[in-house]
Structure 1
Amino acid sequence: MAEKLHIINHIRKLRFFADEMTQLELAEKAGVSRQTIVALEAGKYSPSLELAFKIANVFAVPIGEVFECQPKNSEVIK
């Protein structure tokens, strides 16, 4: 059985560097609710592939700069 992956995101950091974009502004640009952005940033929700690309497009960065994944059992390096 394949090991489940842990999705890590850098949305909050990207918002900060995008003129301190608010969660609501990002949500509107990505076409989702603010609550969805809150859940993503908190790691409580993994985005669909479509949403992941939409968020990356908002920041004009490759998807790998927004999201990365690690096996659940690996140690997170900050």
Structure 2
Amino acid sequence: MRLRGVVARNLRRLRQAKGLSQEELADRADINRNYVGLLEREEHAATIDMLEKLSEVLEVEPAAFFARD
């Protein structure tokens, strides 16, 4: 699986584990809700700055987005 897919899968998993919708995550991260969907569908690649912002909201280390199970 490509790294973009790994990040997308982990973002979805971490978001759902927190019980957040895409819209709630986007609101807390101060980003567009559509952008979260694009990331989760692998239609857009997140920047390092974006991963840092999302990791703060999800209360995980940024490295969690790169974990391969």
TM-score (norm 2): 0.80
Matches within 5 A, 1:34-45: 34-45=33-44
What one-letter code is carried by the residue in structure 1 that aligns with 2:3?
Answer: H
Q: Give the CA RMSD over aligned residues.
A: 1.9
Task: Work out the percentage of aligned pairs sharing the same amino acid.
Answer: 22
Aligned mates of 2:16, 2:48 — CA distance in 1: 23
Q: By how many angstroms is 1:52 displaced?
A: 0.7
Point out the structure with the larger helix share.
2
Count of paired positions: 65
Q: Which runs of 5+ in 2 are unaligned?
A: none
Gaps of 5+ in 1: 70-76
1:15 aligns with 15
Structure with higher strand content: 1
- After superposing on structure 2, the runs of 4+ consecutive aligned residues of structure 1 that deviate more than 4 Å are none
SS in 1 for 2:3: strand
Q: Which residue of 1 aligns with 2:46?
A: 47
